[in-house]
Every structure is written in structure tokens, then in C-alpha cells.
């Protein structure tokens, strides 16, 4: 039975790229009825067993075991999340960046942070914002995240980003209008993904990506150009799991006086002590407290 990779899902069809390199393009497939009965949905990124049919199409018969599964965006077997945040238009939003990082940590993916649109800065702004990007790079680098400064216009950082994507399925995400499609276009000349102008009134772009689709790179990697998000909620995450998604808390949390410490008000909390001593960045801790309150509020409502 032939196997392949689902590279696009649209209107009930799954487009499978065969493992057999002798076959060119993708095969349009329907899923077997048994999937619906079992409440299973094939996802982009799934490795599948399929059966070709006489009309040149096919049927997805089996979904092979997944290494990861994201609910939003719906994609399987992604290993790396590439988070794009612009230094200008829209301005850098560290609270939103931390919110994305919580979701990525919860999903168990590796993360690469790209700071985009460096080319939009003039000389004076570049000096001022340069300090900001340097500070952000150092802050998140110290936590253990890789940070690359990019420009789709000048090509800065694009080859470095591409090298990180080799041989893996990666998810591109971030605030709307930060240049996800522009960076992909810069890495893959001729791709011509639709890009959007930024709404100056709202400070964000309209979503140009309407479905999840894997874009193949020449280095064996696949990139999921996913719909942009203007906001994220925490409905899939338990409040007791939140601190586990702040990776710099872990070593300190082991020394807390109380097991299951929320790191908010308990005596003998080593995380709060680390914040006071500067070992944990105060902005990250403030965002943790805010997310904790948001989650508790949502829990009360639901």
C-alpha cells in the first residue's frame, strides 16, 4: 500500500504527496468513512496510507502515528514553531509573544523567534530600536529560545531561518500583518504568496492565509503557512499547567516550599525570589500573573 504526506486539506479533500518520487505532484483523496464514525480527522502533516482509485484520485485508508498534534492551527507532526513579530507596523508586543510561547510550550514544539521588518526603521530609529531588539534577543536567548532578526526586503536572516527548517515540518505563526508570507516569499523566490497592507488605524494586517498548506523547501523541510491570529485564548490549557510553560521557572520551582506552588502569593516561593533577584525577567513574570488571572476568569465564566 502506498504512503504519503497530506500537504493540503480543503473542502473535504486531502492532497497527498506520495513517498514514491517517481510520482509527480499530489493525489486528491477522500478520507474513509470509518474516520468520521470514529471521530478522527486527517490533518495536514499526517503521514498516511492511501489507495489510488481508477479516476486518478485516491482514498486515505490509515493515518500513521503522530509525533505532535496542534488544534489551532490543525496540523500534525510539526516539530518547530517559527514565531514572527515585527519591530514596527505593528510594534513589538512582548505580552502577545509570551502568550504564543505558552501555547508552543504546551504543544511540546521547539521554537524559533523571528523579529521582522528591520528594514522599516530609519537611521535614528534603527539605533533606538536596535537596543530594543538586542534586549529582546538577549532576554529570550537567555531563556533558551533562538532569536533571528530578519528583513524580507534586504534578505537579512532569511538563509539562517531556512537552515533551521531543514528536514522538518514547521509552523509559521505570529501576529497578523508581521510579514509571514513576505518572509516565505523571500526564502522561496517565485512562491508569490498573497501579502497584505497594514491597517494604520488598527495597527494590524488582514489575514491573507485562509487554510493550512505545507510548502516544500528544497532542503527537505515543509513549512505550514497558517492563518494569522489576532488573539489566543487558554481554553485548551489548565491553570495548573501554566507555570510549566514558562521554561525559566522550572529550576527555581523545584525549590518552592509548597508543592504545586502557584508562584503568586505562597511563602517560600523561589520563583518570586528569582524575580526579585533579577534571575527571572520581571516582564515575563508580570505576563505570567496576567495570564493566570485571565485563565481563572475564563474558568469562572465557563
179 appears as a binding residue in the annotation: yes
118 appears as a binding residue in the annotation: yes
> What's the CATH code, domain 75-225?
3.40.50.300
Q: What is the pLDDT of residues 243-294, one digit of tens each?
A: 999 999 999 999 999 988 999 999 999 999 999 999 999 999 999 999 999 8
256 appears as a binding residue in the annotation: yes
276 appears as a binding residue in the annotation: no
262 appears as a binding residue in the annotation: no
167 appears as a binding residue in the annotation: no
Q: What is the pLDDT of residues 82-139, one digit of tens each?
A: 888 876 655 778 898 999 899 889 888 999 998 875 555 555 555 555 567 788 889 9
Is the CB of residue 80 less than 8 Å from the CB of residue 164? yes
114 appears as a binding residue in the annotation: no
Size (the chain), residues: 302
Domain boundaries, the chain: 3-65, 75-225, 239-301
> Residue 140: how many CA atoms within 13 Å on its side-chain side?
21
Grid coordinates representing 138 are 538577549
Domain 3-65 has CATH 3.30.365.10: no
211 appears as a binding residue in the annotation: no
What architecture is the 239-301 domain classified under in CATH? Answer: Orthogonal Bundle (1.10)
116 appears as a binding residue in the annotation: yes
29 appears as a binding residue in the annotation: no
Beta bridge partners of 111: 81
pLDDT score for 235: 63
Amino acid at each position: 500500500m502506498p504512503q504519503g504526506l497530506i500537504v493540503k486539506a480543503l473542502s473535504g479533500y486531502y492532497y497527498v504527496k506520495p513517498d514514491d518520487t517517481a510520482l509527480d505532484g499530489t493525489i486528491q483523496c477522500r478520507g474513509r468513512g470509518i474516520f468520521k464514525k470514529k471521530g478522527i480527522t486527517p490533518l495536514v502533516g499526517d503521514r498516511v496510507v492511501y489507495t489510488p482509485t481508477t479516476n486518478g484520485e485516491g482514498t486515505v485508508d490509515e493515518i500513521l502515528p503522530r509525533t505532535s498534534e496542534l488544534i489551532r492551527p490543525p496540523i500534525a507532526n510539526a516539530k518547530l514553531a517559527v514565531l514572527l513579530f515585527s519591530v514596527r507596523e505593528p510594534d513589538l508586543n512582548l505580552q502577545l509573544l509570551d502568550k504564543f510561547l505558552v501555547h508552543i510550550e504546551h504543544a511540546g514544539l521547539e521554537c524559533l523567534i523571528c523579529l521582522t521588518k528591520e528594514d522599516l526603521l530609519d537611521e535614528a530609529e534603527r539605533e533606538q530600536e536596535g537596543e530594543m531588539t538586542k534586549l529582546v534577543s538577549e532576554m529570550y536567548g537567555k531563556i533558551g529560545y533562538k532569536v533571528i532578526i530578519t528583513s524580507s526586503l534586504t534578505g537579512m536572516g532569511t538563509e539562517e531561518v531556512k537552515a533551521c527548517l531543514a528536514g522538518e515540518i514547521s509552523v509559521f505563526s505570529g501576529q497578523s500583518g508581521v510579514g509571514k508570507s513576505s518572509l516565505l516569499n523571500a526564502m522561496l523566490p517565485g512562491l508569490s504568496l498573497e501579502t497584505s497592507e497594514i491597517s494604520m488605524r488598527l495597527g494590524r494586517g488582514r489575514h491573507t492565509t485562509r487554510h493550512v498548506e505545507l510548502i516544500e523547501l528544497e532542503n527537505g523541510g515543509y513549512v505550514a503557512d497558517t492563518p494569522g491570529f489576532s488573539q489566543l485564548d487558554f481554553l485548551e490549557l489548565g491553570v495548573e499547567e501554566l507555570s510549566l510553560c514558562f521554561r525559566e521557572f522550572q529550576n527555581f520551582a523545584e525549590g518552592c516550599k509548597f508543592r504545586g506552588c502557584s508562584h503568586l502569593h505562597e511563602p517560600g516561593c523561589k520563583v518570586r525570589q528569582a524575580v526579585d533577584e533579577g534571575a527571572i525577567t520581571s516582564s515575563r513574570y508580570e505576563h505570567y500573573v496576567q495570564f493566570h488571572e485571565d485563565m481563572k476568569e475564563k474558568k469562572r465564566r465557563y
